[in-house]
Structure 1
Amino acid sequence: MSEKNTIKKYTPILKSYAVEPHFVEEFGSLAKIYCNKGTFALKEIDPHKGSDFIRYVRTLYQKGYNRIVPIFPTVDGRYAILSEQKLYYLMPWLPNEDRENYFKKHQQMFRELARLHLLSSKEVTIEKEDRQEHYENTLLELEKEQEFLDGFIEQCENTEYMSPFELMFCTYYHDIRQALKYSENKLKDWYEQTKEEEKARVSIIHGKISPEHFLYDERGYGYFANFENAKYGPPSHDLLPFLARSLKTTPKQNEDCIDWLYTYFNYYPLRSDEMLLFLSYLAHPGPVMKICERYMKEDFISNERKYTQKLLKNYWLLKNTEYIVMRVEEIEKQKKAQQEAQKETQD
């Protein structure tokens, strides 16, 4: 699209903000608007998502959390504009110069995430029947996955000539099974601890935590952007997807992830039942299970190499996650031992 047509596309939308564009750069769903009032970011989103996220942003402001890229209202007070079946909202364009290194930026992001969760935290009522139903359904899924694993390894071992994928699966079976059992045990511990409780803690969750959505202003302060997936939910719903993405690497002991997690926990400590559920979900070997299930369902494997590579990468993710889970277990046990020792000293 020519520069003239690009400006023409955005002029009617920006008119609602009394902004007249001089130059526009497009970056996917984001447009950088240059005008005499400064530089702005115009974001395009699916109108089906609506502008519900604006409500969560305003709630956070009301609760005292202001590390959010501001969303500007139109001249008549609206926070989003519908144009040609697309929804748009306007923000300042932050320079986002990396004044911090990779580790420090993540550390600051996790500290701000903990503050966001802490300030928006509230208790909600959970019916005992609903908690029980969630537990029983999740447990049933885990049992089905265990049956699948046992059935698949039996099928592999009864094959006269195993495929590379089947041979690799048999090598990894013990580790996958261990992760599944650990996840199940933590779930059972969580239910045993909470089955009589009728309250649970939720916060406003960002929904898509990423360094790309944590931007710096000219003073070097970090702000969250992209709240389009915001909602109330358990804070772990922000932590778990981020960890799943970050741990998709070759095998390594990722101490950075441990430091980021405990930066978060220092500001927003998880309760013992929340930690049990967090570890259950974190340890669950979902990605490696899915690739095995897809392979087993194929009538004819046209690309054995592709499946085998995916299995290997998901196994690396499993082992990287296992390291994080074990380190958290170790740190939590040490903290508990120190607390008990202090209590005995006081007594």
Structure 2
Amino acid sequence: MDEHNHLNEVSAVLKHYPIEPYFAEGFGKIKKIYTKSGIFALKKIHPYEGSDFIKHIQTLYQKDYNRIVPVYPSSDGRYAILHNNSLYYLMPWVPNANREDQSEKHKQLFRELARMHTLSAKELEIRPEVKQEHYENTLKEWEKEEEFVNGFLESCENKTYMSPFELNFCLYYIQIRQAIQFARIKLETWNEKTKEQKKTRTVTLHGKVSPEHFLFDERGYGYFINFEKARIGSPIQDLLPFLARSLKTQPKYGDEVIDWIYVYLKHFPFRDDEMQLFMSYLAFPSGIIRVAETYHQRKKDVDERKFVQKLQRQYWLLNNTGYVVTKIDDLEKQKEQAKQEGAQS
């Protein structure tokens, strides 16, 4: 599509804004709009995503959190324009200046995420029976998963000839089992620590934290974009998907990831119960179990090589995550011990 078509495609939407566009480029769902008054980004989203996320952005601005690329209102005050069954919203174009040090970029992202969570944190009343129900449902779900893992192992071992997938699963079984047990212990600890708790802590979640959604301006300041999945929830809900993606790589030590987590915790310290729940969810090997379940439920011949590759990628995630949670667990125990020794002296 040439620039004229890019501009024609969105000209009806741009008429709602006090700008004079003369050129446009396409970048997936975003159009880069050149105007006499500067460069803008026009984003197209599905209407079911709605414009509710704008409220979350405005609330954060009201709390003095300004590291968000703002959304501009139209001439009649709307923050999203419905056109041809799509919603559009307008922002300034942030150049995303290249930063060579990726780890430093991640640390800045986690620092800003912690600051956003700190400014939006709220205590929410929670009935003990609601928390208990969540605990019991999670435990029940994990017990079912463990039952499947044990049953699948048995069915593999009973075969005269195992497929490559089944053989690999048997080799990985011990680590899968250990991860399940670690996650269950942490979940039970969390439950014990929150027996009498009447409140829980919620924050405004970004909803889709990733390096692609954290842009840098020419001065080196980082800004979040893509708040379409923003909602209120537990802070760990922003961390877990990001960490899972970062750790789903070939076997590596996760010290860099641990550094990112502690940058976040320095600015938004977890309470003891939040830390137990965080480690529990991070450790549970749901990805590798999902792949094994899909393989087990197959209705016809499958591409064995592809399934083995999927299993292997999930095993790397399991391995890398195991390193990270064990290290965090050790660090937290050392901190607790130092605190107790300090109190005694």
TM-score calculated relative to the size of structure 1: 0.97
CA positional deviation for 1:6: 2.1
**More off after superposition, 96-105 vs 36-45:** 96-105
CA drift at 1:5: 2.5
In structure 2, give the amino acid aligned to 1:35: T
Partner of residue 261, structure 2: 261
Instruction: Name the SS of the counterpart of 1:113 in structure 2.
Output: helix
Q: Deviations over 1:167-216 (max 9, x none)?
A: 11111111101101111111111111112212100000100111111111
CA distance in 1, matches of 2:6, 2:276: 52
- Counterpart contact for 2:6–2:31, Cα < 8 Å: no
**1:45 equivalenced with 2:45 (yes/no):** yes
Give me the identity figure in percent: 55
On the 8 A contact 1:29/1:44 being kept in 2, the answer is yes
Question: What is the match of residue 329 of structure 2?
Answer: 329
Partner residue of 1:142?
142
Quote the offset at 1:24 in angstroms.
Answer: 0.4
Alignment partner, residue 244 of structure 1: 244
- Once residues 120 and 16 of structure 2 are traced to their aligned partners in structure 1, the CA distance between those partners, rounded to angstroms, is 31
CA deviations 1:124-153 (Å, max 9, x no partner) are: 111111111111111111111111111111
Look up the SS of the partner of 1:22 in the other structure: strand
Q: Following TM superposition, by how much is the alpha carbon of 1:331 offset from its aligned partner in structure 2, in angstroms?
A: 0.9
The two structures have a TM-score, normalised by structure 2, of 0.98
Shift of 1:100: 5.1
Aligned residues: CA RMSD = 1.0
* 1:185 maps onto 2:193 in alignment: no
Q: Which runs of 5+ in 1 are unaligned?
A: none
Whether 1:151 aligns to 2:162 is no
Distance in 2, Cα, partners of 1:34 & 1:185: 56
- Residue in 1 that maps onto 2:297: 297
CA contact (8 A) 1:295 1:301 kept: no
- Structure 2 residue matching 1:232: 3-state secondary structure: strand
| Alpha-carbon separation, structure 2, partners of 1:80 and 1:65 | 21
Q: Which residue of 2 aligns with 1:54?
A: 54
- What is residue 288 of structure 2 aligned with on the other side? 288
On the 8 A contact 1:11/1:20 being kept in 2, the answer is no
CA contact (8 A) 1:123 1:201 kept: yes
Is 1:160 the counterpart of 2:164? The answer is: no
Mapping 1:185-224, distance limit 5 Å: 185-224=185-224
Equivalent residue number for residue 36 of structure 1 = 36
Residues 1:114 and 2:147 aligned together: no
User: Which amino acid in the other structure matches residue 148 of structure 1?
Assistant: F
1:319 and 2:319 equivalent? yes
Q: CA deviation at 1:315?
A: 0.6
| Aligned match of 2:95 | 95
Do 2:4 and 2:24's aligned partners in 1 also have CA atoms closer than 8 Å?
Answer: no
In structure 2, C-alpha distance between the alignment counterparts of 1:89 and 1:14, rounded to whole Å:
10
Measured in 2, the distance between the counterparts of 1:9 and 1:49 equals: 21
| Post-superposition offset of 1:342 | 1.5
Secondary structure (helix, strand or coil) at the match of 1:329 reads: helix
| Aligned counterparts, 1:62-101, within 5 A | 62-99=62-99, 101=101
Cα offset, 1:91, TM superposition: 0.5
Contact 1:34–1:40 at 8 Å: present in 2 too? yes
1:224 deviation in Å? 0.6
2:182 and 2:280 in contact (8 A); partners too: yes
Deviation (angstroms), 1:302: 2.6
Of 251-260 and 302-311, deviating more is 302-311
Quote the offset at 1:301 in angstroms: 3.0
Deviation at 1:246, TM superposition (A): 0.3
Once residues 341 and 67 of structure 1 are traced to their aligned partners in structure 2, the CA distance between those partners, rounded to angstroms, is 40
Give yes or no for the alignment of 1:24 onto 2:24: yes
1:79-106 deviation per Cα after TM superposition (whole angstroms, max 9, x unaligned): 1111111111111001111245101110
Structure 2, unmatched stretches of 5+, are: none
Give the superposition deviation at 1:20: 2.0
Q: Tell me the number of residue pairs that the alignment of Structure 1 and Structure 2 aligns.
A: 345
For the residue of structure 2 that corresponds to 1:270, the secondary structure is: coil
Partner letter of residue 114 of structure 2? A
